[in-house]
Structure 1
Amino acid sequence: MKSIISTVTSGTLALAIALTPISTIAAPVVRTIFQSMASGEQAKLQTINVWNGHGVAISFYEIGETIKKVWLDDPSQILLDTDGCLEGLDQNCSKGGAGLIHLRRIKKVNIPGIPQTSTTLLTVITQSSSGERKAYSFRLATSNGTPKYSQVAIKADVAREQTTPKPQLQSLVKTQQTINQIRGGIVVAIKSGWILQQDELHQRLQKLIGYLQAGDDISTATNKASVSEDLVNKLIALNNNSDNLRQGNSL
């Protein structure tokens, strides 16, 4: 009994140390947006955040489309640049060849006629090698705090089908067990004071659970929720150690 408690205590202490800087867990550098999410009839307006002193790039490299034209409705807080000239905007540009847009936040400038808003619309017109044109729309929002990504990669939907497991192929029982373990770890972490329910991290963990319930695997769900897989593993271990302690006390 003593050895069980000792093992659990040392394991819990290690987890406590690992969870101490819990609000500064690194998020993925690259955020993925698939074509159908930002262009076409099924698209939904995607929000891209831009932080102080931390630029964000929107890359069309992976789909091989050339940026032909860009509209930024409110340039009073965000400046944009491209890795190539754009027809109609840059002088001496006979043939546009940009594939990446760089966004940078600036101190707000009062521009007559532009209303005061916290977000603005970015519209991008691209052209494929076959000459097909597409229109992409993004909501740009100024943000404070710790940046969550540095680049937004636009990817083809065919890649999405290849990399995203179909929900019906996943073991529902195993997924539910994982969800229960994560929830148990969250409860222990809250009781220990490592996580507060009002923290942004707690909200991201709830989103993670929602993605798992919708059929995403751990890798996809953690990426969407901006939660590290290492943290998820620590929460699962925290739950399991707590279960072992309770079983030991019942002997």
Structure 2
Amino acid sequence: MSQARGDRQIVTVEIYPGHGTTLNFRSTGETIRRVWLDDLSKVTLSFDDAGCSVSETGNECAARVIHLRRINPLEFPNLPTTGTTLLTVLTDGGLYLFRLAFPESGNPNYYSLEIQPDSISSGIQPQPVAVSIEGSSGAQLIEQGLRVAQSRNLIAEGNPLWERLQNLIVAVRQGVYVEVAAAQAGVSQALIVRLVELGQSVSPSVTL
């Protein structure tokens, strides 16, 4: 969460033609109050609260999810053309900055970014779940990462989150896409990424 707040290098979000990206603030427990987009010519924003709109949101806005969609470039008088633009999100808990980039070709590696609180998953930054985390090898990495987290006293057996992660691991091992399994189990995607990193740290021979 500290990275998105601009305490470190600003997070870059790539938006490809024909694809959208979602910024999910639900895990923070914060509510989006106002949003500014410096360049409106290449992307549209929508919210899970119909009372919100770009640059016009006031106290009536109570969104927690922002969806960004790439559009064909529009021309605005006196607005310079740039390769990237800045998205600023003001919540009731802080200010978040995202740099939006617009590749001209290719396919996205992710479709959703979850803003994760700096808590149990200390060091987690907003980042996507790799689409290649799947099957037995992906489940093994998540499970190994969970054991590492347990050894560091970050989580214990019997914890409700532990049980949800067990359900996720079983689903991934059975071939369910990790993003779908995460939604079904109620586990944040950023936490999965962190567990995979921990799993890789003890098992470098396992590849995604």
TM-score range, shorter chain: 0.5 to 0.7
- Residues 165-211 of structure 1: CA distance to partner in whole angstroms, max 9, x if unpaired? 69xx8xxxxxxxxxxxxxxxxxxxxxxxxxxxxxxxxxxxxxxxxxx
Q: 2:207 aligns with which of 223, 232, 235?
A: 232
Structure 2 residue runs of 5 or longer lacking an equivalent are 125-144, 153-192
Q: Of the two structures, which has the highest relative contact order with CA contacts closer than 8 Å and spacing of 6 or more?
A: 1
- Aligned partner of 2:52: which letter? L
Q: Is 2:96 the partner of 1:136?
A: yes
- Aligned partner of 1:151: which letter? S
What does 1:118-157 align with in structure 2 at a 5 Å threshold? 118-127=83-92, 133-143=93-103, 144-157=105-118
How far has the Cα of 1:107 moved from its partner? 0.7
Look up the match of 2:9.
Answer: 44
Q: 2:33 aligns with which of 50, 53, 68?
A: 68
C-alpha separation in 1, matches of 2:194 and 2:11: 22
- Aligned partner of 2:207: which letter? V
What does 1:1-251 align with in structure 2 at a 5 Å threshold? 35-39=1-5, 42-84=7-49, 85-86=51-52, 89=56, 95-127=60-92, 133-143=93-103, 144-161=105-122, 219-220=196-197, 232=207
Residue 68 to residue 218, structure 1, CA distance change in 2 (3 Å): closer
Higher helix share: 1
The sequence identity of aligned pairs, in percent, is 34
How far has the Cα of 1:49 moved from its partner? 0.5
Larger Rg: 1
CA RMSD of aligned residues (A): 3.3
- Aligned residue for 1:62, secondary structure, equals helix
- Residues 93-133 of structure 1: CA distance to partner in whole angstroms, max 9, x if unpaired? 86221001100001111111111111000000001xxxxx3
C-alpha separation in 2, matches of 1:139 and 1:73: 10
C-alpha separation in 1, matches of 2:123 and 2:4: 19
Contact kept, 8 Å, 2:15 with 2:70, in 1: the verdict is: yes
Residue 222 to residue 105, structure 1, CA distance change in 2 (3 Å): farther
Residue 115 to residue 63, structure 1, CA distance change in 2 (3 Å): same
Structure 1 moving runs of 4+ over 4 Å: 162-166
TM-score between the two structures when normalised by the length of structure 2: 0.57
C-alpha separation in 1, matches of 2:81 and 2:32: 28
Look up the match of 1:184.
Answer: none
Residue 39 to residue 53, structure 1, CA distance change in 2 (3 Å): same
C-alpha separation in 1, matches of 2:71 and 2:199: 31
Structure 1 residue runs of 5 or longer lacking an equivalent are 1-34, 128-132, 170-215, 224-228, 234-251
TM-score between the two structures when normalised by the length of structure 1: 0.48
